[in-house]
Amino acid sequence: MIGRVAITDISPTIYFGGEFTPVKAIVNEEILVSATVAGEGHDYPVVHVITRDSKGKELSRIAAIERSPGTDRYEAPIALPKLGRFTFEIAAAIVTQYRTVTTNSPQFPVYVERERALVGAWYEFFPRSEGASINKDGTYASGNFGTAVKRLKAVKSMGFDVLYIPPIHPIGISHRKGPNNTLTAGPNDPGVPWGIGNSDGGHDAISPALGTMKDFEKFVKEANKLDLEIALDLALQTSPDHPWVKEHPKWFNYRTDGTIAYAENPPKKYQDIYPINFDDDFDGLVAEVYRICELWISKGVTIFRVDNPHTKPVIFWQTLISKVNAKYPEIVFLAEAFTKPAMMHALGKAGFQQSYTYFTWRTTKHELTEYGNEVSHQTSAFFRPNFWVNTPDILPFHLQSGNPAMFALRAVLASTLTPSWGMYAGYELFEHRVLSEGREEYLDSEKYQIKVRDWDGAKQSLVPLVTKLNKIRNANRALQRLRNLHFHHTDNEAIIAYSKRDGENLVLVIVNLDPSNAQATVVHWNMDLLGLTGDSFVVDDQITGNSFSWNRDSFVSLDPRGDYNNVAHIAVVRIP
């Protein structure tokens, strides 16, 4: 019901499933609260945004301003000081007939989580490939947790915060896939890690080829010593050999002939994987998956990368994540959901802290600007993006030429547009062999076979730039925030420019989107968005170390030919 003062169109709020669910935030992250406020008469109302803790105690009362006169749209930034659950509300007061009348809006929830829920540099590798070798007969000797430990320092030295590993469980034997997704596997083919389960166990077991549970615990411990968090894949599916198939037949879907239906994602078929049926024993599945999560949490896992969550009921994830986070609020869930926007957004509203995104396919200035504005301003209350440049499943068309400058510019975009970004092993070696023309799949994909890489003998490597990018991110808090992204006009469609500011930290990024040619343009900086007065300013380029004097209309030229470092400027403004 509207009070004496009409307070409407309050933002950000999330109405989902018949209730208001919490706006996502981390400690001291700025959230711009806005509302339309209208009162009778000609006087302007006095508007405040009030924050409260979970007990209702007032924490702050911030004056809201009408940024655009005549719009009746008031806004004020809030930032919450610690982890936990909070609320905000709008309070508006007017003076009428010599009396002050105040109206308060309802209270809307905000959930403040730890920093990793928003900020992180992710790296993915397959433990079985790290330390693997080729035998004399051409077969592969698998790596394991013991050999994979040796790769941890290299991952950390590049500046990554999170190491994501695919499923580490026993792999099914029935219908095991061979190299390049062939239907027949040889006796030495390791199988797809997502085909989970055999006589050695299921989701709560370790593949014997990787070692023992103690080996895994040691692996996690060594990673934690380097301040690397482990993200473990949570894939709710099984191989035909998983213990669940016999123990819980109600958890599967059946064809008319009585056989269990395998997974399909046309045109792909996954004969080695059974999807789960959530209709006949929902509570039993919640209990079992919660048990599995709790087991791996006890082993040091702090993040779950959830495989294909969009093929399961949203209510399942809302139930599971709320149950896990109630006891373990530090646990982060990342949704691997390359699907329709409505479902991706629903998963975020249901509780997923982060999600994979369409960034992988956004390449032009228009596409990047449109999508950047969407994730930073339109959906940031409930959807936290994680920009991945590649995955084991996806070799984007723009990388298939192998041009190092393309790899470089995509890494710059991913690491500076959003607070979380990810890279799958081999990207730094410019791996780009495609399965076949017109496909976005790697030839000799690591999903189906062990891959041996010569990390030390590579003739070319993106490691120096990746290391620098992560260092720049760590040194600039503005790059660790989502809602502060603003794009600026350039006269050349091949060059994109954007800014991020947090307090006195102002970062300007200019990227040449053409990896094969020199491009030049004039960047027209919106000085109001930058928060700068005057027409000129001095910047320090974090990639080259050079300093420039720029102004409101700055000419820039970027030539990546011969040196992929020249694809971009990442410049920190010297604030007077």
Residue 532: CATH number of its domain: 2.60.40.1180
Domain assignment present for 535: yes
- In percent, the amount of the chain with pLDDT more than 70 equals 100
For the residues 551-570, what does the mean pLDDT come to? 97
Same-domain status, 313 and 193? yes
Exactly one of 72, 89, 307, 446 is catalytic; which is it? 307
Cα 410 to Cα 359: distance, rounded to the nearest angstrom: 10
For the residues 166-193, what does the mean pLDDT come to? 95
User: Is a pLDDT exceeding 90 seen at residue 503?
Assistant: yes
Same-domain status, 374 and 450? yes
Domain count, the chain: 3
User: What is the 3-class SS of 351-384, one letter each residue?
Assistant: CCCEECCHHHHCCCHHHHHHHHHHHHHHCCCCCC
Same-domain status, 89 and 45? yes
Same-domain status, 154 and 227? yes
Domain assignment present for 1: no
Cβ burial, residue 93 (10 Å; 0-12/13-18/19+)? middle
Same-domain status, 159 and 197? yes
Active site residue 336: yes
What's the confidence (pLDDT) of residue 41? Answer: 74
CATH, residue 92: 2.60.40.10
Same-domain status, 211 and 79? no
- In percent, the amount of the chain with pLDDT more than 90 equals 94
| DSSP single-letter state for residue 198 | B
Q: Considering 447, 480, 513, which residue would you say is the last residue of a domain? A: 480
Q: How far is CA 194 from the centre of its chain?
A: 21
Exactly one of 29, 124, 336, 502 is catalytic; which is it? 336
Q: What is the pLDDT of residues 514-523, one digit of tens each?
A: 999 999 999 9
User: Is a pLDDT exceeding 70 seen at residue 132?
Assistant: yes
Average pLDDT, the chain: 96
Q: Considering 480, 510, 535, which residue would you say is the last residue of a domain? A: 480
Residues contacting 309, CB < 8 A, separation 6+: 317, 335, 336, 337, 347, 352
CATH, residue 180: 3.20.20.80
Same-domain status, 132 and 258? yes
Sheet holding 65-66, edge to edge: 6-11, 31-38, 73-78, 65-66
Q: Considering 480, 506, 533, which residue would you say is the last residue of a domain? A: 480
Same-domain status, 17 and 101? yes
Q: What is the pLDDT of residues 357-387, one digit of tens each?
A: 999 999 999 999 999 999 999 999 999 999 9
Q: What is the pLDDT of residues 400-452, one digit of tens each?
A: 999 999 999 999 999 999 999 999 999 999 999 999 999 999 999 999 999 99
Same-domain status, 461 and 500? no
Give the global pTM. 0.97
Question: Are the beta carbons of 450 and 127 closer than 8 angstroms?
Answer: no
3-state secondary structure of 493: coil
Q: Per-residue b/e over 235-250, b at no fewer than 16 CB within 10 Å?
A: bbbbbbbbbbbeebee
Q: Which domain holds residue 181?
A: 116-480
What's the confidence (pLDDT) of residue 1? Answer: 62
Q: What is the pLDDT of residues 68-87, one digit of tens each?
A: 999 999 999 999 999 999 99
Strands (E), 219-327: 229-234, 237-238, 263-265, 268-270, 274-275, 303-307
Domain assignment present for 545: yes
| DSSP single-letter state for residue 115 | G
For the residues 202-211, what does the mean pLDDT come to? 98
Same-domain status, 309 and 434? yes
Residue 264 — very low, low, confident or very high, per pLDDT cuts 50/70/90? Answer: confident
Same-domain status, 47 and 168? no
CB atoms within 10 A of CB 29: 23
Cα 309 to Cα 530: distance, rounded to the nearest angstrom: 38
What is the rounded (10 degree) CA torsion for 360, 364, 368, 371? -80
Cα 26 to Cα 31: distance, rounded to the nearest angstrom: 10
User: Is a pLDDT exceeding 80 seen at residue 308?
Assistant: yes
Tokens found for residue 14: 């999330």
Same-domain status, 284 and 226? yes
